[in-house]
Amino acid sequence: MIRLIDVQKTYDNGTRALKGVSMKIEDGEFVFLVGPSGSGKSTILKLITGEVTCTGGRLMVNGYNLNNIRPRQIPYMRRTLGVIFQDFRLIEKKTVEENLTFVMRVVGASPREIRKRVPYVLQLVGLDHKGDRLPTELSGGEQQRVAIARALVNNPQVIVADEPTGNLDPQRSLEIMMLLEKINELGTTVMVVTHEKELVNRFSKRVVAIESGRIISDGMGGYYNNGSV
């Protein structure tokens, strides 16, 4: 579960990125976080992943209170999250399989667990036949599938995707979104940050809209719906 209560963030240069954001994402939910560039979406993501700390309000992520979390606890909090980036951020010199095993090693998984889990996750994202390929040998859509597999491989409670379709064509974008929906149906909470209105509108999911550091709408349906905040 993710909970933000009146969260504020002012950067060192004086920029007020968030001006009192409150929202709650329950376990098993699928949420789109939408808004124009500079609205504060990425700041919310960075707060959730522990890259930055809030300057006001309270923030809870999967049982961790990020207001007073110790630096040494942050890696363990991050293990409850799976993060997907717009630019995939795969390690180019490692094969698809190695990109996944590497992440499992990070959390101290045994070789047996790795041998069992990696093929399963690759099959889930439809890449079970491409485990020995290098990321550069794959298409953009396939690379994003590898990134999704990497986010999933440690069985996180929440998947956080930052503009996951930003570098893909509409057809591949739809496929990726459908894959994330499938993962959500298997029980993982999914939060997708995007500004692609048409794509959001194709799914009947909760949409939280943010603008100028404030939530302007929060409800089921499409982009910028009239739901109450």
Partner 1 sequence: MGQYNMGYHVKEGFRSIFTHGLMSFAAVCMIVACLIIMGSFSLVAINLDNTLGDLEAKNEFTAYVDEGLNETQARALQSRLEAIPNVDSATFVTAQQALEDYKQRYVDSEYAELFELPDEVLRHRFRIHVEDIEALAQTVAAVGQVAGIADTQAALEVAQGFVTVRNVAGAVAWILILMLLVISLFIIANTIKLATFHRREEIAIMKMCGATNWFVRWPFIFEGMILGLIGALAAFLIQWGIYGIIVAAITEYGGLQILAIVPFKALALRVLGAFAAAGLAIGAGGSLLAIRKFLQV
Nearer of residues 13 and 228 to partner 1, judged by Cβ: 13
Binding site for partner 1 (CB under 8 A): 49, 51, 72, 75-79, 81, 83, 89, 91, 93, 102-103, 105-111, 150, 154
* H helix or E strand, kind and range, residue 21: strand 16-25
Nearer of residues 127 and 153 to partner 1, judged by Cβ: 153
Exposure class string for 81-90: b at 16+ Cβ within 10 A, else e:
bbbbbbebeb
Alpha-carbon distance of 126 to 142, in angstroms, equals 9
Exposure class string for 111-132: b at 16+ Cβ within 10 A, else e:
eeebeebbeebbebbebeebbe
**Least distance in Å: CB of 22 to partner 1?**
26
**Least distance in Å: CB of 226 to partner 1?**
36
**Least distance in Å: CB of 2 to partner 1?**
17
Are 162 and 190 in contact, with CB atoms under 8 Å apart?
no
The structure tokens listed for 182 are 């499938």
Nearer of residues 160 and 200 to partner 1, judged by Cβ: 160
Given the DSSP bridges, would you call strands 189-194 and 158-162 parallel, antiparallel or unpaired? Answer: parallel
**Least distance in Å: CB of 84 to partner 1?**
10
Check residue 35 and give left, alpha or beta (phi > 0: left; psi -120 to 50: alpha).
left
Nearer of residues 41 and 206 to partner 1, judged by Cβ: 41
Nearer of residues 62 and 217 to partner 1, judged by Cβ: 62
**Least distance in Å: CB of 149 to partner 1?**
12
